[in-house]
């Protein structure tokens, strides 16, 4: 019987930070690492220590300050990478080495000019060597999404025997369909000896916009860790967005899958990452985009004003957004105008509202959005013929 806790493995500081323009210095990384720990992530992938002295230093400093989460360093299946990662992680309370190798035929043939058997041998050697430094070893089968399942099962079995504690099944190229990715996880659960003693992990990229769906399909089929980044930043079209998978699981309690994330910190964390990386978030981004809880059409606004649940499937406060926004545009109705006017101090009679609405539409047709300053002007005009009650 599997437990229902899904571990959240954050790779904002590794897969996220490797994006052009997202580079952070050690000080900035420390601030984000502290925030991720507070947010409640289970693992922080702090970097790729062998890649540069700066990254080594960041991983080492993060390892010193993180109180609760495991701190993880990435390596290739190369002895020196592993030795350097172990050194960078030596002060971590809970160190994890993340090592691995490409397992798809295209990686084996073109990247390594090798064979399936030789790749298994390298994988086993890397895991055994990493095990000589730390107990917690995560193995990644790069491009697992396009790896033949029977061969992938053989790789997994071999690295479990060598001491891997977590098996990462990356859809490196973001190619899989949710059903296909879920079936891969299920296949491994049913065909790999020793699988019940390790955690299967989903690491999905978003090239076809399916990273979140694939990760959820993975956990429904038995994976118990999701690798993700704040705002979904990462190589090319990005990684699975942390805020999305966490809220999918929270909003679908019948799945009986939980995370330890304090969701009320999601919005602030998103802002912190976008500001320090200088990487803006699209307004229509799920959960943390500027429009995620904004309503602009009259029909929707009327519904939300009567009862938020008519057009919102989650409470904005649950993700740290103070309230839903009613944005006034030429598509807004009387209900929205009266609502906004009341918020800034005007109580309108029906006749006053009719008159104000006429002026409102004239203004709205001239500009994209009607702001509070415009409403004050509209109320001034209406007051000339009929005195408005101030509240």
Binding site for ligand KIV (CB under 6 A): 15, 140, 142, 168, 170, 172, 203, 205
Nearer to ligand KIV, 170 or 316 (CB): 170
Token pair 């912190």: residue: 272
Burial 210-226 (b: 16+ CB within 10 A, else e): bbbbbbbbbbebbbbbb
Q: How far apart are CA 277 and CA 330, in angstroms?
A: 35
Nearer to ligand KIV, 170 or 182 (CB): 170
Residue 10 sits in the site that holds Zn ion (CB under 5 A): no
Q: Are 223 and 268 in contact (CB under 8 A)?
A: no
- From the CB of 259, what's the least distance to ligand KIV, in Å? 20
For residue 326, count other CB atoms closer than 10 A to its CB. Answer: 20
The 3-state DSSP class for residue 120 equals helix
**Which partner, Zn ion, ligand KIV, none, binds residue 140 by CB below 5 to 8 Å per kind?**
ligand KIV
Among 12-20, 127-135, 277-285, 381-389, which window interacts with Zn ion (CB under 5 A)? 12-20
**Which partner, Zn ion, ligand KIV, none, binds residue 29 by CB below 5 to 8 Å per kind?**
none
- From the CB of 320, what's the least distance to ligand KIV, in Å? 28
Q: How far apart are CA 63 and CA 259, in angstroms?
A: 23
- From the CB of 122, what's the least distance to ligand KIV, in Å? 15
- From the CB of 202, what's the least distance to ligand KIV, in Å? 11
- From the CB of 203, what's the least distance to ligand KIV, in Å? 5
Q: How far apart are CA 259 and CA 252, in angstroms?
A: 12
Residue closest to 226 by CA, chosen among 254, 247, 196: 247
Residue 143 sits in the site that holds Zn ion (CB under 5 A): no
**Which partner, Zn ion, ligand KIV, none, binds residue 45 by CB below 5 to 8 Å per kind?**
none
Nearer to ligand KIV, 170 or 178 (CB): 170
Residue closest to 219 by CA, chosen among 251, 246, 191: 246
- From the CB of 205, what's the least distance to ligand KIV, in Å? 6
Strand-strand pairing, 346-347 and 389-390:
antiparallel
Residue 15 sits in the site that holds Zn ion (CB under 5 A): yes
Q: How far apart are CA 355 and CA 40, in angstroms?
A: 52
Instruction: Give the binding site for Zn ion (CB under 5 A).
Output: 15
């Amino acid at each position: 019987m599997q437990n229902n806790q899904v571990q959240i493995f954050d790779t904002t500081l590794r897969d996220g930070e490797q994006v052009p323009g997202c580079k952070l210095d050690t000080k900035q990384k420390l601030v984000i690492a502290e925030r991720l720990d507070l947010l409640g992530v289970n693992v922080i992938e702090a970097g790729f220590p062998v890649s540069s002295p700066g990254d080594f230093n960041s991983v080492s400093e993060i390892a010193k300050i993180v109180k609760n989460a495991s701190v993880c360093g990435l390596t290739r299946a190369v002895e020196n990478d592993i030795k350097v990662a172990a050194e960078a992680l030596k002060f971590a309370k809970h160190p994890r080495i993340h090592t691995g190798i490409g397992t798809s035929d295209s990686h084996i043939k073109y990247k390594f000019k090798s064979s399936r058997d030789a790749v298994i041998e390298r994988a086993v050697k890397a895991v055994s060597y990493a095990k000589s430094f730390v107990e917690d070893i995560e193995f990644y089968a790069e491009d697992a999404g396009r790896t033949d399942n029977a061969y992938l099962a053989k790789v997994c079995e071999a690295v479990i025997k060598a001491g891997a504690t977590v098996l990462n099944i990356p859809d490196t190229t973001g190619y899989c369909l949710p059903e296909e990715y879920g079936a891969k996880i299920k296949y491994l659960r049913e065909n790999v000896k020793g699988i019940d003693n390790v955690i299967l992990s989903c690491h999905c990229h978003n090239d076809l916009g399916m990273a979140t769906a694939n990760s959820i399909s993975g956990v429904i089929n038995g994976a118990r860790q999701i690798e993700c980044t704040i705002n979904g930043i990462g190589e090319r079209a990005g990684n699975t967005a942390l805020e999305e998978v966490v809220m999918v699981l929270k909003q679908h309690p019948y799945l009986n899958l939980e995370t330890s994330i304090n969701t009320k910190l999601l919005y602030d964390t998103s802002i912190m990452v976008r500001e320090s990386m200088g990487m803006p978030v699209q307004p229509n981004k799920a959960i943390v985009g500027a429009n995620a809880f904004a309503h602009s059409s009259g029909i929707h606004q009327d519904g939300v004003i009567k009862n938020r649940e008519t057009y919102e499937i989650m409470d904005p406060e649950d993700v740290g957004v103070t309230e839903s926004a009613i944005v006034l545009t030429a598509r807004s109705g009387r209900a929205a105008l009266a609502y906004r006017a009341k918020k800034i101090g005007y109580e309108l009679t029906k006749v006053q509202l009719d008159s104000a609405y006429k002026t409102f539409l004239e203004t709205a047709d001239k500009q994209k959005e009607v702001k509070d300053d415009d409403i004050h002007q509209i109320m001034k005009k209406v007051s000339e013929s009929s005195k408005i009650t101030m509240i």
